[in-house]
Structure 1
């Protein structure tokens, strides 16, 4: 405890309150007031002076009409800019999605290839084990037959005959396997040839049906045209001007001549169009 300091303790239950030192407090207060006065004097001494600027025309060198026109043009172009920005965003997003899809496809393709290769190896091993087992079983069976038929032969003769018999059986097995593969290949080729023939036959039938439908449609149009031509021909028309070269005859003769000439023209037009259609599709 410093010199000259008298502590007066106040008991407040479980706590003890110590009053401050008046001398120390007064000294700190004087130092703080002096620092505040020094700060105020420094601010007064360093106070900025009045600002003097050269007057100038604000708003730039452009006129109000030009500025409004430019603003309107930017407003119009902003729609296209937003649209282009949206299209660019969608394009980038679509490209990213396509790249992701291609990446996933490549991963799945790689997995499928590995799985296929694994299955092929397993099938090859299984086939090899089956061939070996079949070869061993066949060899044992043939050896039993050989031992029953050649009891009196020597050991060397038996060994050589066994090797030759095993080679012959192996060669025969390979020949049978090769023939089976050739037979399967020939059957697949025959199936492909039949499919190609059926496809070609179907295409020819569709082409023939299309040509027939086109011919029927053309024939219908031509018949309608000829019917309209026949219905529109009236007495006193151009088709009667040269029937008999004589205008002085009875009404029955006139109608007969007109009907004959009209039927002749209709028949001629019909034959001409049918001839054109037949030669066009031939």
Structure 2
């Protein structure tokens, strides 16, 4: 089933479209850009092209140097945080070692005090037995072994075993501290090598720059070397 189009409606739409196109063309003609006429004059200020390029190069190098200083500052802050953490760990381990030493000393004092009391008790018992026995030594019989002495011997063996364990723990703690110090020393050597290589690279790159840039860059290198020297002296102190 086909429906024939309305010719009047189609003609009306076509006329409206043609009218809008004509209006658009008129608007474009009215708003067309006019020719610009300016008085000729010199641009770029009073500086020459070579000076401007030299200034731009110097600004670029200074920006790179500022970025390097920023990175070094972040590395320094990180290093100080690591150093504080290591010092805290060392303090904790030192406190533990001191506590172990104090505990060992107290246990040794208690053991000696108990041994002295036991020795006094045994001496008094031996003297009392000598008073009650016959004066002839040949007829004397050997006294049986006191079970309390075996108890004290067992306690002494336990004390010695505990002391050995404490000594072993102390040696392990000392080894851990030495390992931390060795690791810290290796990290410091690696940082020093990296700084020296970077400093050498900057010197080789900046000292080849001609003109005023070379003088400014030498000043920057001197300040960088002074900063490295201050950092090293602070770390050594």
User: What TM-score do the two structures reach when normalised by structure 1?
Assistant: 0.32
The structure showing larger relative contact order (alpha-carbon pairs under 8 Å, at least 6 residues apart) is 2
Which protein is bigger by CA-based radius of gyration? 1
TM-score (norm 2): 0.37
